[in-house]
Amino acid sequence: MSISVNQLTKIYGSQIAVNNVSFTVNKGEIVGFLGPNGAGKSTTMKILTGYIQGNGGSAYLDEEEIRIDNVNTKKKIGYLPEHNPLYPEMYIKEYLQFVGSLYGMKKQILADRIDEIIEKVGLSPEKNKKIEQLSKGYRQRVGLAQALIHDPEVLILDEPTTGLDPNQLVEIRNLIREVGKNKTIILSTHIMQEVEAICDRVIIINKGSIVADDKLEKLTGEQGSLEQIFRKLTNV
């Protein structure tokens, strides 16, 4: 399943947050979506998940338009926002059961999926705890688990490795690479090494506009390290 974005625009008052942005991400691609704070990354990702509506342009999953009122596209997307949407008073399994039920997953299928996803994201040692008892790293794993629980065709991950220690980083990178073989993934992060370790392609956005979109290998091969390219294009 591909994501197609065509001349997407979002305006807040007099500020243009996203300015005429166009790109396509195909199934099996893991795309790093980079930009300085306030560049329009999170706004774009919120539009792509149907969380907010753009003022102009369009975004599609294959042939189906992504809109706030289109529940069908939302069922096909797993989303981990920058600020992890957790209920700290819930137990891990209870929370994942709640999220799965929102997607209409049947009881036994959901129970089996919860066990599978807890194992997959490395939550097994903490699986009987309340979310409020978890470290930041494990809370991030719960956020990733809720994004994956319904086995979506598209994953949109905003800073997915925040708070992870070096060992956890490697595990989650491997997980994202593994699930990315048959999904469409857009991943936003401030960590350049993260992009270099996980992504096939890079899109850089600055002041609401795309300033680079190419294969990682080609970008770094022609212009130097990803960090050098990023600083040059965004003036940070």
Q: pLDDT digits over 209-233, tens only?
A: 999 999 998 988 866 789 989 999 9
Would residue 30 count as lying in a domain?
yes
Please give the backbone phi and psi of residue 115, each rounded to the nearest 5 degrees, phi first. -60, -40
Would residue 22 count as lying in a domain?
yes
Confidence (pLDDT) at 48: 95
232: tokens are 């040059």
Would residue 164 count as lying in a domain?
no
Confidence (pLDDT) at 166: 84
Give the C-alpha separation, 206 to 41, whole Å. 9
Sign of CA dihedral 44, 49, 51, 53: positive
Say what percent of the chain tops pLDDT 70: 99
Q: What is the CATH number of the domain that holds 192?
A: 3.40.50.300
Confidence (pLDDT) at 37: 87
Domains contained in the chain, number: 1
Would residue 85 count as lying in a domain?
no
Would residue 211 count as lying in a domain?
yes
Q: Which pLDDT tens digit goes with each residue over 37-62?
A: 889 999 999 999 999 999 999 999 99
Would residue 209 count as lying in a domain?
yes
